[in-house]
Structures are given as structure tokens and as C-alpha cells.
Chain A
Amino acid sequence: MTTTVTERQDSAGAPPGTGSRKLTERVFRIRESGIIVVFVVFVAVTTAVKPSFLDEQNIQFLLINTTVFALLALGETIVVVSRNVDLSIGSVLGLSAYVSASMFGSHHVGVPVAFAVGLGIGLACGVANGLMVAIGRVPSLVVTLATLYIVRGVDILIVGGNQVNAQTLPDAFTQIPRATVLGVPYLAIAIAVVIGIGAYYLRSFRSGRELYAIGSNPEAARLAAIPVGRRVFTAFAVSGAIAGLAGVLWAAQYQTIDSSAGTGYELTVISAVVVGGVAIFGGSGSAVGAAVGALLLSSINSALNVLGISPLWLEAISGFLLLLAITLDRVISLRLQAALRRRSSGVGT
């Protein structure tokens, strides 16, 4: 730690901090609301060019497409703020989607049972991840990389060459993403509420704040007697459960499920989360921002469609956006630190 760089000569006398606090708070608010601003601007511009972007059907389509990603973004945020990463969510989603949906055909279960099954599968995977990371103290990148493979492999074995078709799914199930109130899908509202609850929890409850603490300085967290193992375990368990739930919703939405469901989702979700302002190394960021990030990436897809631009550009644009977001974050952070230093040092010039 280069102590001298951040040192001040006379911190006792001057009324410190208040100016700095306003500055940092202003910056944080810009960052967190920045993504919302970007999103609004983006929607505005696209609608100006093509008003049909905001027509009812399109909005519904957009919202439905986003729900799965936004939900996954919530789970990933919980993990990422603690300086971990969950790469297995795509595979867990795929497994959960297939198994829960196939229950309709094979066992003629009711919709709640399917949800329970999907949730249970996700929870089991999450618990496995959590145990390995928390107890084994193995880096989460490696553990979830491994479970990504293992769960996908299990999925492939179970699916074999089959797939679940829409005909086997009951209407009660497939209507879930489609039911609307005043033109807005129920599901979108429900997911928004869930995300709101998740974000609120992270912000205003002790165990949520402890996750941020763990991500901000893991060693200090241990010294502060924070139950790091328990918190991290819970984060992964929740992330897994959310991925399981997302799997069931995915099945209800797309209705044709084979062994490739959810492939590659993890990296898109991580992109969304980072674009939404969550630091890749933890300690800061909000679930709301992450959800807006997911929303933004989804809308770009939709916008490309509406604007008649080949959807082939989507991937490149997403990648570019992510790079832009983290570059901007870094530049802003450097400027902020320099400003804080100048403000507090009173040295030279």
C-alpha cells in the first residue's frame, strides 16, 4: 500500500470530506443513474427514428425477452458484488428448463410442481457451487467453470436426442409470460418486483451489506468477523435458485427446449451486470442497475430488428458496449481519485 500517495498533511484541521463526499456521491449517482439515462436516450432515439419501436406488441416482446435475463442479472449481481462470479447459470437454466418442462409430458404435473422442480434443481446446483467456493476456498471462476461443464454434460445426458415440444405444455404454463394487465405482462411486473426486493435487500439489510464488504476487502471482512463462508454460500445458493427459476420461465416462454438451452447466457449476463454498473471485482453496484443493463442489451436486439439492421450486429454491439462501459468507469474513477487527492492534499500548485 503506497501510503504516501493518499496522505494529507493536515487532515485534522480542515473540515474534510464533505466536499469530497458530495463529489463522490455525485459521481456514483451519475454512474448508477447513468445507465438509466443511457437506456432512456436509446429508447428515445430509436423511437424517433422508428415509432413502431414503442408499440404495444413490441414492448411486450421486449419485456418478455428481458425477464429471464433481468432475473439472471439479479442472481449474478448478488454473487459478483462479493467478488465472485457464477459461470454456471446458463447450464443450470438449461437443465432446469428441460427437466421442469418435461415433467408435464411425462408425469402430468401441475404448474406449481414444475416450478418447484426447476427451483429445486437450481438450488441444488447453487448449493454445490456455494459449498465448494465457501468451504473449499477455491476460486469461484474455476468452480463455476467446472460446474458449467458438469451441469451441461448432465443436461445432455438426460436430454439425449429429445426435446420438449410446445404441445406437451399445458396452457396454464405457456400463458404465464403472455398474460397481461393493461398491456403490460404480469410476468414483467412480477420480475420487476422481485428485482426491486433483491436490490432493496442488498442495500438495506445487514447481510446484504456484508456481501458488499466481502467484495470490497475480503481480508478486512474476515477480520471484522463477518461470516464470509456463510454469506458466499448463500449468494451462490440464491444465484442457483434464481437460475433454476429462470429456467422454468424460459421454458414457458420459448416452449421448445433441447440440450442447448441457455448455452452462452452466462457471459451475456455478466456483460449486462457490468454495463449496469456493478464492479467486476465487487464492492459496489446495484441490482437495479444490472437489470437495466439487461434491459438495455435486450432492447438493442429489439431495436436492431425494428430499424432493419441485421441482427448480426447485435453481438458486436454488445461487446463494444461492455468495453465502453468499463472504460468509462475506469476513466471516471481515475479522474475522481485525482480530484479527491488534489482536493485533500493542498500540496503544491
Chain B
Amino acid sequence: MTAGASDRETPSADGSQPRPGASAPPPAAPAPSPGASAPARSPGASAPAPSPAGPSASPGTPALAHPVLALRHAAKSFGAVRAVIDGTIDLYAGEAHALLGENGAGKSTIVKILAGVHQPDSGEVLIDGAPVTLPGPAAAQDAGIAVIYQEPTLFPDLSVAENIFMGRQPLAAGRRIDRRRMLADSAALFRRLGVRLDPGRICRGLSIADQQIVEIAKALSLDARVIVMDEPTAALSAVEVDRLFEVVRALREGRAAVLFISHRLEEVFEICQRVTVMRDGRHVLSSELAGLTADDLVRAMVGRQMAERTAGERSTPGELVLRVEHLTREGVFTDVSLDVRAGEIVALAGLVGSGRSEVARAVFGIDRYDAGRVLLRGRELRRASPAAAMASGIGFVPEDRRQQGLVMDMSVQQNVALASLARLRKGGLIRTAAERAFTTDWAVRLNLKYGRLSDPVFQLSGGNQQKVVLAKWLGRQPALLIVDEPTRGIDIATKAEVHRLLVRLAGDGVAILMISSELPEVLHVGDRILVMREGRLTAEFGHEEATEEKIMAAATGQPQERAS
């Protein structure tokens, strides 16, 4: 969550925030329909006093009697874990409503309740003011609720049109599927959304952004009145985010309600009218965004003042640890050269898709490369061999914690020890006592919170899972630590811990290459900042001279308007 935005750009009173590179704010929405709140950009004539429920009506328009979809005082537990204790949210037609909260605050569970995947233990779901039960996803779909999950769930072997209409394909005589109509209907949906996508192609190979569009088209085809988007922009480039926002506006104009879950506050301010904040399973704030600041929201999410964010002292860089020379992989990245010295943190910034993770994976040996070389402490590293990379002292904390960083079914101890088995054995056999001591040692050092060492890691929170991954690599005492999105999906408190840890490691002489899409993190932690765009390095900044604008300019290739 880019709470750090508040440092750089204080939002103006109406909560709007210029977005670097964004197109000019759209013209004011057509005459506000009853109950719809005025868009955040043009300060509504209504008084911005936050109200716990319902938008304040614009003068002259009666408030809508009922929200399209409402959740009142829902509670849901999974075994001993109380995921939601008091969940309340109201969604009105035609609005974009943000749902904020730290990880573990209960947002995902709320989404799943609205989607019919879970049934609340208590509380009620109301549609147009009437209580309903949603026993399953089918019921929610019938009720007009569509959810776009973070990971699009499409059928890769089937065509785009089939994905949209699966189970509801238009029929010709004799209940045969009418393919031509299916294609035509899909094309019409895409036109409504203002995007271009070929409905006849198969889904395999579509970018995440396109997959999302397909999901949205699917929702539209269901005449969804409520569209829930769960972290939709996490994996999108700036251009794709803008396209998505246009789509959201189109949806709102079609009188759908959009529930927008995100960690990126600047996006929330740009696209949403109202917000609900969850904390520890309860809703703590529901109001119009007009009149709120990012700090207000963060305070609501965290419940306390943001901790002071000094990361620590900078040390002077030591000897050269990593040198990458003219690394190239056709179609992915080209002529990438960089250095990382002992004790310095090099941040690699850029838009998603610019090739940063691919470079990192190529350095570590997971992916291959076509030309160039990698030298660690002066010695050339064999390519495409993670084992060789590890042997020479590289540690790699990957982007995807659940699939790549951890073996979810294995225990905390087994995961922490997984990269150090050679060290923990004697005579070929693993010494369990040594393994346990090793794990405990690192658990204490990283302040890891767990039940037992033998608990499977899927039971841990996101922040603690990341600590397990870190422990795994730090246990090898690497000379170079590569971290890819070190704090993605982690709550604020643990985020700060991880940043402090990285700086401390640098202070101890570890060379760190950090890939991050969060500009505040990049600026906060990086000693030097490199920017990649479309597979090439386009800029380098020192710590003092770097600003978010400069980084974004280099990342997008567009000169930025100076923000206020």
C-alpha cells in the first residue's frame, strides 16, 4: 500500500490527486442520478461530512432508498480464525466504492461472502434492501454480482467468446450453440467497454490485463449490477490501468456498482467516490472520499499513527559483488548492464512487464539468457543453474511467495531449511536437531510469529510467510540478495520491518538488488535506483536526486507534468 504517497504529494482538499501520466480528468459525469455521489474530482455541492452509510445526496436529488448490495454486520470464522467480526458495506448503483484494509483485515472474506463462495455465520446480505441467502457462486451470479479476482480464472484452451459465455452460450435451433452470435455478442461487449480484443482467439497467452478485460466482459454479459474487483491493478502497466479506469467509468455510466479493492491509495482517490475501511475483521470507516486524506485512510487501516519511517543509516558501498554485462534475452530484455556493490541496495524500478523480474531470474539461473554474462565477485557465473548461483553466494526471494517462495504444505522448519540442507547434514543424513536450532535462530532474528515450527506455512499470515522466505535465504549468508517485490501483499507493520531488515543487511555488507513496483519503497530503501522500460535500462538515479516523477518518466518514457 503506497501510504507513502502522502509524503510526496499532499492531496488537495477534495481528495483528488493528479496521477503522473494520466489523461486529463474526464468531464463531469452526466447529471447525477438519484443517490449517486458526485465524482471526487469535481467537489460535490454536498457537504463532505463523512457518514457511516449512504452517500450524501446532491441537492435536488432524492437519496436512493436502498443500496444495490449491502452487507450488514457479517461475521465469519474458519475454525479458530475469526476472519470477519463485523463486516458492513453498502454499495449504490453507479458508484465506485473502495474497500481498504491491511492484509488479514477481512477484505477477501467479505468479497467471498458477496460472491456466494462463503456463507456468513451471522449478519445478512441485502439486495435492493431485501435479505437474501447466497448459497453458492451460482446464486450470486443470478443476483447480478460478479467478482473479478486477482488471478483471472479463465479457461486457457477455450476461446475468449467461450470464456465469456460458458454455460450461457447463445443457442440456435435444437439447442446447438450459435457460434456466430457468440462471437458477435462478444465483440459488442468489447465495444461497450471501449477495448479491442479478438473474441475468437484462445485465452492461452493473453496478458493479465487482457484476461481481466475478458472477465469484465463476462460480468457485463451477466448483466451484473455489482462488479467486485480484487486488486485489479496489481499486475498492470500504467497504460493498462488507464484503460481499466475508463472501463470502470463505462460501467458506472451503465449504472453498475463497482467495488474496488486496492492497496494503492492514489488510484482509490482517482476512481472511487466512497470508501469503506476494514481493520481486524471490523469495518471502521465508511464515507465519501471527498474530504478525506490518504493519512486519514491509513490511520483508519492501521489504527495508529504511522510509525516513523527512518530506515537507518546508509553505509558506503564496498567491493563489487554483482556485475551484469550486456545481458540479453530475445523478446524479453536487451543489453542490461548493472553493478551492485557490497553494502548497497540497488532498486530496480519500472512498470510491470518491463523485464525486471526476468533479469533477476536470469541472473539467478531460473531463466536462461541468450547473450551477456553475469559475474559474482569477479567470477563468471554459469548460466541457467540456480545451484551454481546459490553456491557462489546469491539468494533469491521471488515475486510469487506462494508458488515460488514456499512449499505451502511443508512446515515452517522445512521451508526455512530447504536451501541449507547441505549445511545441516552430517554423513549424508539431515540432523533434525541442527535443523530445528537453525530455524529457531532465524525465527527469533526475524521476529517470526508462528504456532509451532512444524506448522505448515500456509497457516501463517502473508507477512510471516515472507519472513520464512527471507529466513531461508539469509540462513545461507548470501553475498548478494535479490528480492523481488519484497513487501507485496504485506501489512504495513511487517513492511516496515522488512525495510529495516534490508537496510541492516546492507549495513552488514550484503549486496542487495531489490525489484519493486512501489515507488515509495524504491525511494525509501534504495541507495541507487535503476529504471527499466520494455526490456532496457533507461535511467539511473542516486538516492538524493531521485523523485517519483523522474522514475515514472523513465519508466513510461513520457515526460511528466509537474504535480502540485
> Touching in the complex, A and B, CB below 8 A?
yes
- Residues of A near any B CB (own CB < 8 A): 1-13, 15-18, 20-21, 24-25, 204-206, 209-210, 212-213, 215-217, 219-226, 279, 283-284, 337-338, 340-342, 344-349
Q: Closest CB-CB distance, A219 to chain B, in whole Å?
A: 6
Q: Closest CB-CB distance, B386 to chain A, in whole Å?
A: 15
Looking at B44-52, B70-78, B199-207, B283-291, the stretch in contact with chain A turns out to be B199-207
Whether the Cβ atoms of B208 and A212 lie closer than 8 Å is no
In-complex Cβ contact of A219 among B153, B157, B171, B209 (8 A): B153
Whether the Cβ atoms of B328 and A12 lie closer than 8 Å is no
Give a binary string over B142-175; 1 marks a CB under 8 Å from any A CB, 0 the rest.
0000000101011111100010001101010001
- A212 to B149 alpha-carbon distance, docked (Å): 22
Given contacts A1-B400, A2-B400, contact A18 B353 (CB under 8 A): no
Whether the Cβ atoms of B209 and A209 lie closer than 8 Å is no
In-complex Cβ contact of A210 among B167, B198, B356, B403 (8 A): B167
Whether the Cβ atoms of B207 and A12 lie closer than 8 Å is no
Whether the Cβ atoms of B330 and A7 lie closer than 8 Å is no
Q: Closest CB-CB distance, A41 to chain B, in whole Å?
A: 27
Ordered by A's residue number, 5 sampled pairs between the chains whose C-beta atoms are within 8 Å are A217-B156, A219-B153, A220-B155, A225-B141, A341-B331
- A338 to B368 alpha-carbon distance, docked (Å): 14
Q: Closest CB-CB distance, B327 to chain A, in whole Å?
A: 11
List, in ascending order, chain B residues with CB within 8 A of A342's CB: 330-331
In-complex Cβ contact of A6 among B206, B400, B403 (8 A): B206
- A264 to B176 alpha-carbon distance, docked (Å): 37
Specify the chain B residue showing the minimal Cβ separation from A349: B330
Whether the Cβ atoms of B151 and A205 lie closer than 8 Å is no
Whether the Cβ atoms of A217 and B155 lie closer than 8 Å is yes
Given contacts A283-B157, A337-B205, contact A12 B195 (CB under 8 A): yes
Given contacts A210-B167, A213-B166, A348-B334, contact A11 B153 (CB under 8 A): no
List, in ascending order, chain B residues with CB within 8 A of A345's CB: 331-332
Whether the Cβ atoms of B175 and A8 lie closer than 8 Å is no
- A17 to B356 alpha-carbon distance, docked (Å): 25
Whether the Cβ atoms of A21 and B201 lie closer than 8 Å is yes
Tell whether B232 is near chain A: CB-to-CB under 8 Å. no
List, in ascending order, chain B residues with CB within 8 A of A221's CB: 155
- A345 to B354 alpha-carbon distance, docked (Å): 10
Q: Closest CB-CB distance, B517 to chain A, in whole Å?
A: 10
Tell whether B130 is near chain A: CB-to-CB under 8 Å. no
Tell whether B333 is near chain A: CB-to-CB under 8 Å. yes
Specify the chain A residue showing the minimal Cβ separation from B356: A4
Whether the Cβ atoms of B330 and A209 lie closer than 8 Å is no
List, in ascending order, chain A residues with CB within 8 A of B208's CB: 3, 6-7
Looking at B19-27, B28-36, B90-98, B234-242, the stretch in contact with chain A turns out to be B234-242
Give a binary string over B520-557; 1 marks a CB under 8 Å from any A CB, 0 the rest.
00000000000000111000000000000000000000
Whether the Cβ atoms of A18 and B198 lie closer than 8 Å is yes
List, in ascending order, chain A residues with CB within 8 A of B201's CB: 17-18, 20-21, 24-25
Given contacts A21-B200, A212-B155, A226-B166, contact A3 B352 (CB under 8 A): yes
Tell whether B243 is near chain A: CB-to-CB under 8 Å. yes
Whether the Cβ atoms of B166 and A205 lie closer than 8 Å is no
Tell whether B372 is near chain A: CB-to-CB under 8 Å. no
Specify the chain A residue showing the minimal Cβ separation from B246: A12
List, in ascending order, chain B residues with CB within 8 A of A3's CB: 208, 235, 352
Tell whether B340 is near chain A: CB-to-CB under 8 Å. no
* Known pairs A12-B195, A206-B167, A223-B117 / 11 extra A-B pairs, C-beta < 8 Å: A3-B208, A7-B353, A16-B210, A204-B177, A206-B169, A224-B166, A283-B157, A342-B330, A347-B331, A348-B534, A349-B334
Whether the Cβ atoms of A348 and B535 lie closer than 8 Å is yes
Whether the Cβ atoms of B158 and A212 lie closer than 8 Å is yes
Whether the Cβ atoms of A210 and B358 lie closer than 8 Å is no
Tell whether B137 is near chain A: CB-to-CB under 8 Å. yes
Specify the chain B residue showing the minimal Cβ separation from A17: B198
In-complex Cβ contact of B137 among A1, A2, A223 (8 A): A223
Given contacts A21-B198, A209-B158, contact A4 B357 (CB under 8 A): yes
Specify the chain B residue showing the minimal Cβ separation from A284: B157
In-complex Cβ contact of B156 among A12, A283, A338 (8 A): A283
B residues 312-359 touching A (CB-CB < 8 Å): 328-334, 351-358
List, in ascending order, chain B residues with CB within 8 A of A12's CB: 195-196, 209, 239-240, 242-243
List, in ascending order, chain A residues with CB within 8 A of B352's CB: 3-4, 7
In-complex Cβ contact of A347 among B136, B156, B162, B332 (8 A): B332
- A9 to B240 alpha-carbon distance, docked (Å): 8
Q: Closest CB-CB distance, B106 to chain A, in whole Å?
A: 21
Q: Closest CB-CB distance, A30 to chain B, in whole Å?
A: 15
- A283 to B204 alpha-carbon distance, docked (Å): 11
Whether the Cβ atoms of B154 and A220 lie closer than 8 Å is yes
Whether the Cβ atoms of B158 and A349 lie closer than 8 Å is no
Given contacts A20-B201, A206-B167, A213-B158, contact A225 B136 (CB under 8 A): yes
Given contacts A4-B352, A17-B201, contact A348 B332 (CB under 8 A): yes
Specify the chain B residue showing the minimal Cβ separation from A338: B331
Specify the chain B residue showing the minimal Cβ separation from A342: B331
List, in ascending order, chain B residues with CB within 8 A of A1's CB: 151, 400, 403
Whether the Cβ atoms of B153 and A209 lie closer than 8 Å is no
In-complex Cβ contact of B353 among A9, A24, A216, A337 (8 A): A9
Whether the Cβ atoms of A5 and B153 lie closer than 8 Å is no
Q: Closest CB-CB distance, A14 to chain B, in whole Å?
A: 8
Tell whether B197 is near chain A: CB-to-CB under 8 Å. yes
Whether the Cβ atoms of A340 and B207 lie closer than 8 Å is no
Tell whether B65 is near chain A: CB-to-CB under 8 Å. no
Given contacts A5-B358, A206-B169, A226-B166, contact A341 B239 (CB under 8 A): no
- A216 to B156 alpha-carbon distance, docked (Å): 6
In-complex Cβ contact of A212 among B157, B206, B332 (8 A): B157
Q: Which of B136, B167, B356, B403: most chain A Cβ within 10 A?
A: B167
Whether the Cβ atoms of A9 and B239 lie closer than 8 Å is yes
Given contacts A3-B235, A219-B153, contact A225 B403 (CB under 8 A): no
Q: Closest CB-CB distance, B45 to chain A, in whole Å?
A: 35
- A15 to B196 alpha-carbon distance, docked (Å): 7
Whether the Cβ atoms of B167 and A7 lie closer than 8 Å is no
Whether the Cβ atoms of A217 and B153 lie closer than 8 Å is yes
In-complex Cβ contact of B197 among A17, A212, A223, A349 (8 A): A17
Whether the Cβ atoms of B196 and A223 lie closer than 8 Å is no
Tell whether B138 is near chain A: CB-to-CB under 8 Å. yes
List, in ascending order, chain A residues with CB within 8 A of B399's CB: 2, 4
List, in ascending order, chain B residues with CB within 8 A of A223's CB: 117, 137, 149, 153
Whether the Cβ atoms of B198 and A344 lie closer than 8 Å is no
List, in ascending order, chain A residues with CB within 8 A of B177's CB: 204-206, 209
Closest 7 CB pairs of A and B: A17-B198, A21-B201, A283-B157, A7-B353, A220-B153, A225-B138, A216-B155
Q: Closest CB-CB distance, B159 to chain A, in whole Å?
A: 8
List, in ascending order, chain A residues with CB within 8 A of B154's CB: 217, 220
Specify the chain A residue showing the minimal Cβ separation from B536: A348
List, in ascending order, chain B residues with CB within 8 A of A17's CB: 197-198, 201
Specify the chain A residue showing the minimal Cβ separation from B329: A348
List, in ascending order, chain B residues with CB within 8 A of A204's CB: 176-177
List, in ascending order, chain B residues with CB within 8 A of A337's CB: 204-205
List, in ascending order, chain B residues with CB within 8 A of A5's CB: 358
- A346 to B356 alpha-carbon distance, docked (Å): 16
List, in ascending order, chain B residues with CB within 8 A of A13's CB: 239
- A9 to B534 alpha-carbon distance, docked (Å): 7
List, in ascending order, chain A residues with CB within 8 A of B330's CB: 342, 348-349
List, in ascending order, chain B residues with CB within 8 A of A24's CB: 201-202, 204-205
- A326 to B342 alpha-carbon distance, docked (Å): 48
List, in ascending order, chain A residues with CB within 8 A of B141's CB: 225
